[in-house]
Amino acid sequence: MNIKFYKYQGAGNDFVLVDNRKNVVDHQNPALIAQICNRRFGVGGDGMMFLQDKQGYDFEMVYYNADGQPSSMCGNGGRCIVAFAKYLGVIETETEFLAVDGPHYAKISAEGDWVSLQMIDVDTINSDGEAYVLNTGSPHYVLQVDDLKSKDVYHDGRAIRNNATYSEKGININFIEPLNDGYFVRTFERGVEDETFACGTGVTAVALAMAQHHNQTGHVTTPIKVLGGDLNIRFDYDGKRFTNIFLEGPAKLVFEGCLDV
């Protein structure tokens, strides 16, 4: 069987996308998805997504991590699938689509390469020692460190993700360092089991945790630098609840091709 695929990246978080509106691909096949995401034996990607038809919405986003397992929300994946929907002509410059954590509103530039994606509201941030733990659609651990540039994110992130507290369900580990304007963030991602170049739900978690830490209320905008580029988070915070959370940044089609599976 031949499957047409599209490779997208959002700040270096990269994904294989398939238009499955006609439901021709049975994607409940972890071994196949892991093989397609493999950087030596497949197309390569941090995850794979299927754009499906969904009544009441423009489309549905079905997301798998690179290990082939279905996962929780992917923010950069959400931004990339919005760009893909525009490329396919499914949407124009605004959309309401369904993802695993519920409905999402998004806006895309007329050029189709800049996406502003609304994330779920957040009202709970827990502590684990000096780290913050919260769910922005996916579970995240946020820890401020020194000299992030030189940090062994793979080694240290993997150790936390696999400790007794988190090993069963897994968690994404975000190490952060303040910049003059915003934060530098490096993330070890669950399901990729490696450092990725960006994580959208991760940088969202960082911006919210830091707003609570610094008691920044009102309308807040937080620029974030990641290995793959720049992202922006904006939200409202009343001291208890984070609402109108938007993750913004680039989403680009890299190449397209055909898989023989």
Query: Minimum distance from CB of 202 to ligand LBFN2T5F (Å)?
Result: 6
**Does 186 help bind ligand LBFN2T5F (rule: CB under 6 A)?**
no
For the segment 66-125, give every residue that binds ligand LBFN2T5F (CB under 6 A).
71-72, 74-77
User: Rounded CA gap, 21 and 60, in Å?
Assistant: 9
75 phi/psi in degrees, rounded to 5: -70, -50
The region of 33-41, 84-92, 107-115, 197-205 touching ligand LBFN2T5F under the rule CB under 6 A is 197-205
Distance of CA 15 to CAs 54, 76, 227, Å?
Answer: 21, 9, 16
Q: Do residues 20 and 90 touch, judged by C-beta distance below 8 A?
A: no
Pick the closest to residue 185 from 168, 203, 171, 172 (CA basis): 203
Beta-carbon contacts of residue 128 (< 8 Å; ≥ 6 apart): 141, 165
Between 144 and 204, CB nearer to ligand LBFN2T5F: 204
Pick the closest to residue 250 from 5, 63, 82, 46 (CA basis): 82
**Does 189 help bind ligand LBFN2T5F (rule: CB under 6 A)?**
yes
Q: List active site positions.
A: 74, 199
Q: Structure tokens of 45?
A: 């990607």
For the segment 3-22, give every residue that binds ligand LBFN2T5F (CB under 6 A).
13
190 labeled binding residue? yes
Q: Of these, 86, 104, 161, 190, which contacts ligand LBFN2T5F (CB under 6 A)?
A: 190
Contact set with ligand LBFN2T5F (CB under 6 A): 13, 46, 65, 71-72, 74-77, 138, 172, 189-192, 199-202
